Every structure is written in C-alpha cells, then in structure tokens.
Structure 1
Amino acid sequence: MSGAVPPRVTLYSRPGCHLCDDARLVIERVCAELGESYVEVDIDEDDSLPARFQDEIPVTFVDGRQHDFWRVDAARLRAALR
C-alpha cells in the first residue's frame, strides 16, 4: 500500500482559459505555502465533465467538495485547507 497522500485540491479547467490560468497560480501558491498538493483535470478529457462544468470553469474542489468556481480566493482556500 502506498503512503502517498492524495491531493486535497482538484482544479477542473480547460486549455486556453485565462481564468483557469489565474486560478492555477493562486492554488499553486497556497498549496506550496501549506505543504499541500493539487491535481488539475482538463474537462475536455472526460466526456461527462463539459456538461457538468461548462459554464463554471475553473472549478475548485477541496477534499472532494466543490469550493469555488470562476475565481479562487487565496484566503478562502487557505482557510478551507487548515
């Protein structure tokens, strides 16, 4: 059994999305500060995701629950990860 801890943050995004680029920078910074990791999922790589997230990307999940969409607030993300 692996001792790796799964990422607590998931960023659903798509290529060419400027809001996704902004969200990624905030998530990278906050996760680095707190020693957390994140995973990014391209919604165009899964047939079920565009219909679910089309109008909300980027969408951020923390611990499996939707946290934010469109913009990521660093203070709010930091609080959710503490």
Structure 2
Amino acid sequence: MLNVTIYSKKDCHLCDIAKETLLKIQQELPFSLNEIDIEKDKAAFEKYKYLIPVIEIDGEKVFNYRVNEYEMKNILRLKSQPR
C-alpha cells in the first residue's frame, strides 16, 4: 500500500482543501494517509514553511499548495502498479 503524507498546519485553508481532496480520493484508491503538523516538527517547518500543504507519496514530493484530484489519482495508479 502506498504511503501518502500531507505536511500542513492548523488554520491553513489550502491544507484543509488538500486534505479533503485526499480523503475523497482515498475512498476510491486505497492508501495510508499520514498528516504532519509542521508547527510540531522543526525540520518539516524549516523545509516546508512557505510551501504547505506539501503532499508526498512514499517520500517523493508530488504537490504543494494545491492537489489536482485527477493528477493525484493518475500518480497513485501508476505507483501502485507492479514493477
């Protein structure tokens, strides 16, 4: 199963929208979702403070600011195919 991580913080409108999109996609395409609050993780804060929300799949950054639902589904499908 693919691991999707969203780097976000509270009171972030774009983060809320991105999380809603990911939860919607998760209903169709299974993946584990991990949320990291950058305000509680100093390294993540330094790395992503001006880019949130940041979405990673298995450690690879695929989106920041906004999540395109269509593109995210395609990426998940491609990454979940056997190699």
TM-score bucket of the superposed structures, by smaller chain = 0.7 to 0.9
> Which residues of structure 1 form unaligned runs of 5+?
none
Between 1:33-42 and 1:66-75, the stretch displaced more is 33-42
* 2:59 alignment partner in structure 1: 64
CA distance in structure 2 between the partners assigned to 1:11 and 1:49 by the alignment? 11
Which among 41, 47, 72 is matched to residue 42 of structure 2? 47
Could you list the runs of 4 or more consecutive aligned residues of structure 1 that deviate by over 2 angstroms after TM superposition? none
> How large is the RMSD of aligned CA atoms in angstroms?
1.1
The structure whose residues are more often helix, as a share, is: 2
Q: Distance in 1 between matches of 2:32 and 2:3?
A: 7
Deviation at 1:37, TM superposition (A): 2.3
- The residue number in structure 2 matching 1:32 is 27
The one-letter amino acid of 1:22's match is: I
> Taking every aligned residue pair, what percent have the same amino acid on both sides?
34
Q: Deviations over 1:36-82 (max 9, x none)?
A: 22111001111111110011000000121000000000011101111
Q: Matches of 1:24 and 1:14 in 2, distance apart?
A: 11
Q: TM-score, normalised by structure 2?
A: 0.87
CA offsets 1:4-62 (integer angstroms, 9 cap, x no match): x5x51100000000000000000001112112221110011111111100110000001
Q: Which amino acid aligns with 1:42?
A: D
